[in-house]
Amino acid sequence: MNALASAPTGLSKQRICQALGQPRHRCYPDRRRRAPKTASGAPARRLTDAQNTAILDCLHSERFYDASPRQVYATLLSEGTVLASVSTFYRRLRARGENSPRRLQRPPQRHVKPQLTATAPHQVWTWDITKLPTLSRGVYLNLYLILDLFSRYVVGWMISRKENAGLAKHMFTRALIAHAVPTDSLIVHQDRGSPMTAHSFTDLLADMGVARSYSRPRVSNDNPYSESHFKTLKYTPDYPGRFADPEQARTWTRRFLEHYRQRPHEGLALFTPAEVFHGRVAEVAAVRHKALSEHYAQYPQRYVNGPPTVKLPPTAVHINPDLAIPAQQLIDTPGSLRCVPTPVDTSLPEVVT
């Protein structure tokens, strides 16, 4: 520092440091505050053993054993007493391993990853509720919708102004009766919304012999088919965006679902949900095979890979398939045709509130 002070004017600090063989950061004064020390060399701010004992005795006292250090500090300060800072209170507790919350805490929840497989209709249903905006700002309608996992066929739906377990019970009662689902043969997959976890709704499913499966909290991929269906619905070109009243919403939704179940589905090898649900895959596949064979006989040069084949829907549909299963078993390739018997009642149960 003396060399810098006596250096000629205009000479840079960098050149002076290079000449002295010192790094540049040493050419600046040390402005750090040094903690004062006692005559014995100990930090002057360190608390004595008696002061530390007084802090711990106060925190462990019957008066403050269930209070946080901040509350203890504020209470003592209002009484004109200062033992130490709030940070010191926390440090003393942390040193003794006593800094955990003093009140009862809910233990961490570990939710099981749902893993479902459907090989036929009425084995797994997934359902959810989505909001439909209205012309009134902040006012929404609720679309309840049940989707058959294997066929993507809508087996029940309802539109209401409210969202509660009572309406969900009404819809599922109608759907289960209309489709004559046998006892102990169906799994209903859902998220953890209040209508899905209400005791009245879960008791209804248990009484009707229906097993329950739940998504993990804040994991939308655990219910992908319902989420995807709602996106398809809201991204349809004629989707109104906002509805005037529930009746308009029911009219539009009914028209959309009638079209949807007759529309070729990419996840079903371009078969429609109705064809898969009602077991008409073999019939439609035969028509497609005949048309492709005739076209191949007329224009064989267009098929560089040989005679065309009819792709069939997957024989199993999964939600979170087990990674331990070989990939060949999870990727369903067209194979033998699976004929599904037609349900007893195939009418779409529309529940009107």
The string of pLDDT tens digits covering residues 302-326 is 999 999 999 999 999 999 987 544 4
Task: Tell whether 125 and 155 lie within a shared domain.
Answer: yes
| Rounded-to-integer distance, Cα 30 and Cα 35, Å | 14
Task: Tell whether 61 and 147 lie within a shared domain.
Answer: no
Average pLDDT, the chain: 85
Q: What is the 8-class DSSP label of residue 47?
A: P
Contact 279, 341 (CB under 8 A): yes
Task: Tell whether 307 and 350 lie within a shared domain.
Answer: yes
What is the pTM for the complete model shown? 0.67
Domain annotation covers residue 275:
yes
Task: Tell whether 132 and 270 lie within a shared domain.
Answer: yes
| Rounded-to-integer distance, Cα 84 and Cα 81, Å | 9
Task: Tell whether 79 and 124 lie within a shared domain.
Answer: no
Q: Is the dihedral of CA 151, 155, 156, 157 positive or negative?
A: positive
Task: Tell whether 10 and 83 lie within a shared domain.
Answer: no
> What tokens appear for 3 in the block?
């060399």
Which residues make beta-bridge pairs with 211? 187
> What tokens appear for 85 in the block?
């800072």
Domain annotation covers residue 16:
yes
Domain annotation covers residue 36:
no
Task: Tell whether 345 and 237 lie within a shared domain.
Answer: yes
Higher-confidence residue of 10 and 187: namely 187
Contact 202, 165 (CB under 8 A): no
Alpha helices in 66-105 (DSSP H): 69-78, 86-95
Domain annotation covers residue 107:
no
Domain annotation covers residue 108:
no
Q: What is the pLDDT of residues 135-146, one digit of tens each?
A: 999 999 999 999
CA 227-228-231 angle, 5° bins:
90
pLDDT of residue 140: 96
| Rounded-to-integer distance, Cα 353 and Cα 351, Å | 6
Task: Tell whether 25 and 130 lie within a shared domain.
Answer: no
Task: Tell whether 74 and 215 lie within a shared domain.
Answer: no
Q: What is the pLDDT of residues 99-108, one digit of tens each?
A: 877 667 777 7
First and final C-alpha spacing in the chain: 87
Domain annotation covers residue 240:
yes
> Count of alpha carbons within 13 Å of 169, Cβ hemisphere only?
15
Task: Tell whether 212 and 329 lie within a shared domain.
Answer: yes
| Rounded-to-integer distance, Cα 185 and Cα 125, Å | 11
**CATH value at residue 174:** 3.30.420.10
Q: What 3-state DSSP class applies to 346?
A: coil
| Rounded-to-integer distance, Cα 327 and Cα 324, Å | 9
How many domains does one find in the chain?
Answer: 3
Q: Which domain holds residue 63?
A: 49-95
Domain annotation covers residue 226:
yes
Q: What is the largest CA-CA distance in the chain?
A: 107
Task: Tell whether 54 and 12 lie within a shared domain.
Answer: no
Domain annotation covers residue 303:
yes
Task: Tell whether 345 and 230 lie within a shared domain.
Answer: yes
Q: Residue 339 above 50 pLDDT?
A: no
